[in-house]
Amino acid sequence: MMKKIAIKWSFILALLTIVSCSKNQGNKIKNIIIGIHGNNELKIQIDVTTNDDVQVFAEYWSDKNGQKNKITTPISKKGLTHSLVLINITPETNYSYQLVTVQGQEKKTSKVYTFKSRTLPEWLQKQFKANIPKPELLPQNFKKGFMLLAKRETPGVAYIVDYKGNLRWYHTVEGTGFKVTHFTKEQSIIAILGKNDEPTSYGSEILELNLQGDTLTHIKKGQGDFKQVIHHEIIKKSANEIVTLTVDQKIMDLTSIGGKKNDTINGDGIQILDKKGKQIWKWSVFDDLDPLKDKAILKTKKDWTHANSLNYDKDGNFLISFYNNGQIWKVDSKTGKVIWKLGKGGNMNMSKDTDFSQAHAAHINQDGSLLFFDNGVDKKQSSVFALKVDEKGKNVKLDFHINLPKDIYNDRMGSAYMIDKETVLVCCSKRHITVLTNKKGVLLWALESEIPPYRTEFIPEENMKPFLLN
């Protein structure tokens, strides 16, 4: 019934605009149909038919903010039919828009048309709740920015929210969940998709979307060189290169330590694929570690090292964190040689105040420090570490350390990202909460979520323009 109403709503608007356009003799527009894009209430689609081969874009604004705050869509390709998608839509809001046709040097602007966005579906209305005790203490770039979170169970949902807890963008997938998501430099969202019967951060599909909801890449396990289960991380090296962690299996004779002759050990690997699934580069933890030297291998063989994050260092080499051995490694991205190991049993000289238990979301922050979320299983208190790594001297010193309140202790998953020099956005996944803390550990803001996000990634407003604005 709701679908019929939606179609009827679009059709009525289409009739109104068709009549209006037919009276606009000076314009090249023949027909306009408006409705929602991909059954998504925060994306409005305008289908335009023109009399001549032209390009078309839309300028739109909420009546509340006025035309001075108009947003411009990307321009269409030259042709007779054009599909434009409007995002940055607020539910139950009146909007105005104009269509601009471009033919050579000639631009023509239509009259102003209007529409009203509808309410969000009930299942989306109470997904997030923000607690903002003192808004004046929040950094301005945090107020203007956005956060990316995702629902890992099917149907999967990727969410972009603002600091007030308002849902600003979403995308749903049927039959799989968004196990891991990442916002790219190309203004796309790249994700690992997996079914409910796959472990929480593991999957067998790669999906890349633009902010208009269009599929840019979709590869399934079995296509090309994509043969292994992938997990915990997916990033891009370039526009055509996808980097992810793999479950790397090795069959070994473990009879000498009480195992089977053909025993399977699940380790980790790094794989770089192009958008068609062709392998560009590969690395395995087995290139560096010998399972037979691990006294506990019979107990840990099903998930030996458990890599949980992957990123690039400033010099283009890899940083990879492991949960089960409590280490962060730096791996040469060309040769695969391990440059250093930091943490328990590593080969770096670490000051006592840099001891951590398990790292998540290890990356280099804007100040050049190695930043990560520490689950803190050893002392049952999670925290954030920033370390200064002297690679040549093999020394590691503390930049800063933030102990989080014990009531948001998070023993699995999690993330931490700098907002400015004094504040950090921290996701405590199992607690269903994301917090903004200063370096003293004082919580300035919190976001409660119905879903337990694997991580919460901050996206500055400038990286969202012109699609989403505050």
pLDDT tens-digit series, residues 199-255: 999 999 999 999 999 999 999 999 999 999 999 999 999 999 999 999 999 999 999
Count helices and strands in the chain by DSSP H and E runs: 4, 34
Residue 14 has pLDDT above 60, yes or no: no
pLDDT tens-digit series, residues 373-390: 999 999 999 999 999 999
| 389 in Cβ contact with 370 (< 8 Å) | yes
Specify the DSSP element, H or E, that contains 129.
strand 128-131
106: left (phi over 0), alpha (psi -120 to 50) or beta: beta
What DSSP state is assigned to residue 289?
-
Mean of pLDDT values over 418-437: 98
The pLDDT, as a whole number, for residue 49 is 97
The pLDDT, as a whole number, for residue 446 is 99
The pLDDT, as a whole number, for residue 2 is 37
- HEC-encoded secondary structure of 55-122: EEEEEEEECCCCHHHCEECCCCCCEEEEEEEECCCCCCCEEEEEEEEEECCEEEECCCEEEECCCCCH
Residue 232 tokens read as: 């915990």
Alpha-carbon torsion 178, 200, 229, 294, what sign?
positive
The pLDDT, as a whole number, for residue 307 is 98
The pLDDT, as a whole number, for residue 4 is 37
Over the Cα atoms of the chain, what is R_g? 25
The pLDDT, as a whole number, for residue 11 is 40
The pLDDT, as a whole number, for residue 167 is 98
The pLDDT, as a whole number, for residue 20 is 41
Percent of the chain with pLDDT over 90: 94
Mean of pLDDT values over 166-171: 98
| Angle, vertex CA 385, rays to CA 384 and CA 387, nearest 5 | 165
Mean of pLDDT values over 46-71: 96
pLDDT tens-digit series, residues 273-309: 999 999 999 999 999 999 999 999 999 999 999 999 9
> How would residue 25 be classed by pLDDT, with cut points 50, 70 and 90?
very low
Q: Using CA atoms in the order 182, 458, 213, 311, what is the torsion angle rounded to 10 degrees?
A: -20
Burial class (CB in 10 A: 0-12, 13-18, 19+), 454: buried
| 200 in Cβ contact with 178 (< 8 Å) | no
Domain at 2-116: CATH code: 2.60.40.10
* Beta strands at 230-238 and 241-252: parallel, antiparallel or unpaired: antiparallel
* Beta strands at 433-438 and 327-331: parallel, antiparallel or unpaired: unpaired
Mean of pLDDT values over 328-336: 99
> How would residue 16 be classed by pLDDT, with cut points 50, 70 and 90?
very low
> How would residue 12 be classed by pLDDT, with cut points 50, 70 and 90?
very low
| 31 in Cβ contact with 48 (< 8 Å) | yes
Terminal C-alpha separation, the chain: 35
pLDDT tens-digit series, residues 140-159: 999 999 999 999 999 999 99
> How would residue 27 be classed by pLDDT, with cut points 50, 70 and 90?
low
